[in-house]
Amino acid sequence: MKLTFIEPNEELKPYIQSLWVFESQVGMPPAQSNLAAPNGCSKLIVPYENSVTSIADGRVQESYEQGLYFVGNRDSSTLLSTRPRKTGFIGIEFHPYGAYPVFGIPMSETTNRLLTADALFGKWGENVREVLRNETTVDRKVDQLQRFLVDSLRSRNLQNPLINFCVSALKSTNGLISIRELERKTGYSRRYLEILFKNHVGLPPKAMAGIFRFQKFYQKWAAGVPFEEIREQLYDDYYDQAHFTKAFKKMTTFSPEHFILEVSNEFGRRLSLH
């Protein structure tokens, strides 16, 4: 399994958190541990060789070879698998506020959903899919995809400094800043901030805070820090152990103990470390 990270186009850097290519001669590992945990990012996925099966909230969906798919912001985990043959797919993860300025579609329409680009973006999605299908190398597919994204971005002027500030405040505090404090810092009401998040991010501030709080643990796990070393610190961020366990199971489908002992999730580990 190979996960290669690519530096995004200069114009796209403010909007893209990571751009990567997954490659494997035998598909994803067969164990039920290829976990995509919520990280606050919506995604574009291009399976150019083999298809990808995802299971989220009990729903099984297939992202077919040579397709183009948009994954909205999620507040629960997704299990991924492929058939055991040569596999390749491109992934673009947008910053929490990054997809809306590029596509101009309310992110609430994509929350917890996997959608074909044709259905979501219409003619634009069809054109991009066909161009990518006809490119013969991965590098050319990546270049063309970024070109389309830049053109789409340039045709709109949808940046909002307020949403950027709020998301950055939540992320920098690992989700521990209160919504009341965001109200105080911005001068806007909770109701207005929730509407803003719904449009630009797809999830409300409270849900994003929960994701960033969980990511504090997840990234340390990915870096190989033993769970016992961070247990006390994590419980300081939650009401009690039961609260932490409930949140953890929502984000991973597993209890903390099962996840630490039984789930390798090498795909998720490498993705999180970037």
Domains in the chain: ranges and CATH: 2-154 (2.60.120.10), 161-273 (1.10.10.60)
Instruction: Tell me the average pLDDT across 61-87.
Output: 95
Instruction: Tell me the average pLDDT across 31-54.
Output: 91
pLDDT for residue 249 is more than 70: yes
Q: For the chain, give me the number of helices (H) and strands (E)?
A: 12, 10
The one-letter amino acid at 210: G
Asked if 166 and 197 touch (Cβ cutoff 8 Å), the reply is yes
Whole-Å CA distances, 149 to 9, 13, 104, 156, 214: 10, 11, 12, 11, 30
Q: In the structure, what pLDDT confidence band is assigned to residue 123 with cuts at 50, 70 and 90?
A: very high
Helices (H), 85-189: 99-103, 117-121, 123-134, 138-154, 161-172, 179-186
Q: What is the pLDDT, as a whole number, of residue 238?
A: 80
Instruction: Tell me the average pLDDT across 177-181.
Output: 95
Kindly state the percentage of the chain with pLDDT values over 70: 97
pLDDT for residue 135 is more than 90: yes
Report CA 162 to chain centroid distance, whole Å: 21
Asked if 41 and 140 touch (Cβ cutoff 8 Å), the reply is no
Could you give the 3-state DSSP secondary structure of residue 34? coil
Instruction: Tell me the average pLDDT across 179-204.
Output: 97
Mean of the per-residue pLDDT values for the chain?
A: 92
Instruction: Tell me the average pLDDT across 34-52.
Output: 95
**Bridge partners, 188 (sequence order):** none
**How far apart are the two ends of the chain, measured CA to CA in Å?**
16
Q: What is the pLDDT, as a whole number, of residue 269?
A: 74
16: left (phi over 0), alpha (psi -120 to 50) or beta: beta
Q: What is the pLDDT, as a whole number, of residue 93?
A: 97
Short-list 144, 132, 148, CA closest to 49: 132
CA distance 5 to 22: 9
- Regarding pTM above 0.85, the answer is yes
pLDDT for residue 102 is more than 70: yes
Residue 180's Cβ-count burial label (10 Å; 0-12, 13-18, 19+) is: exposed
Taking only the tens place, the pLDDT of each residue in 253-269 is 888 778 877 776 778 77
pLDDT for residue 10 is more than 80: yes
Q: In the structure, what pLDDT confidence band is assigned to residue 187 with cuts at 50, 70 and 90?
A: very high
